Structure 1
Amino acid sequence: MEKQRESIYTRYVPGLTPESEFTGEACQLIFQSGKLLVTEPSSPPGIPMARSLEELAVTPLRILYLGTFAGLPCYASEVSAEAPEPPGLAFRPLRSLYEVLEEDLFHLAGKALQLLVWDGNHRFCGRCGTETAHSLTERSRICPQCGLVSYPQLAPAVITAILKDNQLLLAHAPHFQNGMYGLIAGFVEPGETLEDCVRREIMEEVGLKVKNITYFGSQQWPFPNSLMVGFLAEYESGEITVDGEELDHAAWFPTDQLPVIPPPVSIARKIIDWVVEQQSESGAAADKEL
């Protein structure tokens, strides 16, 4: 259903161990308290390239090899909160680079951040407290004492476009900026299917029942470790009721009269754009028949 963009895996090859014979520059994804080190004042900002972190005058707390992107090795590293910015480089919140970095690089940076957070949180075994070690065969940390294996964790969430005739339900949350409206979203709970979660979140947030739930597409979302799974659903019954906490307003909008909506790189916007395009094509076809 989704107009599929080219997969990052056409250029990115995951890996655990770098090739020893490679001596060229590498892509250095360096984080400080969740902020990514980028080139400045270049426009747009880019990811620094260097043979080693020493070249950038960076001392890492931890470093992970990610694999190769466009044939170049990629490393994720974290520095202390007190580490100074190297000359010509600056730490910027990853969210602020949302539509600035090339999309594949943004997703790779998101992967790097999620793995660094996981790696830092699982240095010690959650069962016996022993210091863990990296596996040599898969992305995990293993306790040498009790054998507990810890894998990077994802929190799946659903995001759904609700359709009613030629209208789309959009909602505003108190933390949304610039009057933006978005789709209904929420995290999957234990014991739920994705479709169960769609129904529950929509009922909880706007008091509506939906039907004909269909899959649209997915997007990784590294804030902090989500996987957004997009759906379409048709309105079945109910009146819009918001709780005033998670959402402060929701309404039906004609697809040709939408308010401010999420930026293009987000899956929310991809779903909305697809819906608008479908409605436009349907309208054009109806006019042709007349």
Structure 2
Amino acid sequence: MEMGTVTANGVDFAYLTMGEGPLALCLHGFPDTAHTWRHLMPELAERGYRAVAPFMRGYAPTSIPADGAYESGALVADACALHEALGGDGDAVLIGHDWGAFPVYGATAFAPRRWRRAVAMAIPPVEATLTAFLDYEQLRRSFYIFLFQTGLAEAAASQEGFIAGLWRDWSPGYDASRDVELARQSLGEPANLAAAIGYYRAMLGTVPLTGRYAAEQAAAGGDVPILYLHGVRDGCLGVELAKEAPDFLPPGSRAHHVPDAGHFLHLERPREVNDLVLEWLA
């Protein structure tokens, strides 16, 4: 696996890559890094794809975005700009987990001709979660989202054990020690941690949207088929939030619940998840 850099949408992206062929753009979430795709990327390369996993905006060694934008529309613009900068064409596929799932939904709607198929993991379409998200158990799981709207966010998230605790709660029984260390390296500087928290502040409107990405922010629907995967034991977003996901996916899409897997299902059950993804892309 090689490391590269590319400038797209005004951000200097660092990325991991392997293989040759149509672009398979793999987007990570929080608190995670591009290394989260270490099981899937080699198999994408074997199937004839150029697998590329960028460190998302603000996650070192990618640069802090000069425009200070962290709304989902900015992530959509990033995905489309990366597609262009990396030489993608209409055979490209888009894969995203957690925050990386937001641009899967948005970019396939905003620029559908760029993508042949897509995969989203662990975050269903927002429309599918509007009522279930108000459930007490889900509110309890989502404490960190509300913490991140406050001035205590950076101090709390930088404490020893905070990131490890999220991984432990979200993927019970999974040994996340390597992933936690990689996340600490990526978010170790205050500016990078503030950037990662900025995604959540933009989501709930604690900071105003920049307005630069209004069209990308509003993009919805589309006709690119999406495979949606959710772990049955997800401790971040309960599987009940995913039950209505098929109703809000494009025609020809599919949803699948992965047994004995939590939030980081692609790391916990790589063989099963890889098979589902590769079969879908084929």
TM-score (norm 1): 0.24
Query: Which structure shows the bigger proportion of residues in helix conformation?
Result: 2
User: Which structure shows the bigger proportion of residues in strand conformation?
Assistant: 1
Higher relative contact order (CA 8 A, sep 6+): 2
The higher radius of gyration belongs to: 1
Tell me the TM-score normalised to structure 2 length: 0.25
